[in-house]
Amino acid sequence: MVSTAGWRERRKIVQGLLFVSPWIVGFLAFTIYPLLASGYYSFTRYDVLRPPKLVGLANYARIFLQDDVFRVALANTLYFVLVGVPAGFVSAVLLANLLNGRMWGRSVFRTIFFLPSITPAVASVMVWLWIYNTQFGLVNGFLAAHGLQVIPWLSSPALAKPSLIVVQCWAGGSAIVIFLAALQDVPRSLYEAALVDGANPLQRFWHVTIPMCTPVMLFTVLTGLIGTFQSFTLPWLLTRGGPNNATELYSVYLYRNAFVSFKMGYASALAWLLFVIIAAFSAAVFRTSARWVYYRSE
């Protein structure tokens, strides 16, 4: 009986492994291997056409000591993160709070605000290129029709990054849906107690809504932080890193090195450095979360 039970147990294990084997093979082939290979290539000089040649820490030394464009890309990315993530966070929270209230056509408005997040990036970029166009764009056409000066949204180094941040906030439908779910999970009894205590709507929002939604806010901040550090599609399609490297973000610069200049070893070093930067920022957010994240069981 023992041997039969053991054989059946092993058979179940084998069947389970066979069942998940496509995922395991895909995970090893398309995640683990590229990860390990990029780590190796980061210590080599590799251009795809010739075998990689070990150069030690030369790629990393070049990044910190010789690459001026890297400093520009890192500064642009930090601006994009430190301004874009809070802007997207605040806009998503406020819009979710508005869409959570009683209003006519609430379901329609929720759908409208969620649509940008599922619209293909290329289609969205084409729309915003038309909106930002200096000659026949929607905004500048309105300004010109009223005798006002047109605004070079994407061709001005000072306005290019804020213009990209506006588009990023516009496409924040996923965060809005997440906050909507969190708002609907806040116990109504807390609002009723605050109302009895004489709290006005702003006080109820600040002292009840915000604390009860902080776990979701932590998740949104972390995912927004990681996604914004890796932002590529938006700046590449809208500005190609211009004008004058004003929107040359980290991922755009990494792409140029890897797939335009074919400096795969150098690009791998950039990728691993980006991983360290994201990990450091994520760890900092986690360390501070104990001070402002409230869990209902506490």
Every domain of the chain and the residues it spans: 60-292
d(CA 228, CA 235): 11
d(CA 76, CA 240): 13
What is the mean predicted confidence (pLDDT) over 1-28? 84
* In the chain, % of residues over pLDDT 70: 98
Res. 272: pLDDT tops 90: yes
* In the chain, % of residues over pLDDT 90: 70
Q: What is the pLDDT of residue 12?
A: 87
pLDDT top residue among 2 and 24: 24
Q: What is the pLDDT of residue 249?
A: 96
pLDDT-derived band at 37 (thresholds 50, 70, 90) equals very high
- Look up residue 147 and give its DSSP letter: T
Res. 1: pLDDT tops 50: no
60-292 is classed in which CATH architecture? Answer: Orthogonal Bundle (1.10)
Res. 147: pLDDT tops 90: no
Which helix (H) or strand (E) is 184 found in, with range? helix 173-184
Contact 267, 258 (CB under 8 A): yes
CA angle 112, 114, 119 (to 5 degrees): 95
Say if pTM beats, i.e. exceeds, 0.75. Answer: yes
Contact 42, 271 (CB under 8 A): yes
Partners of 44 in the beta sheet? 54
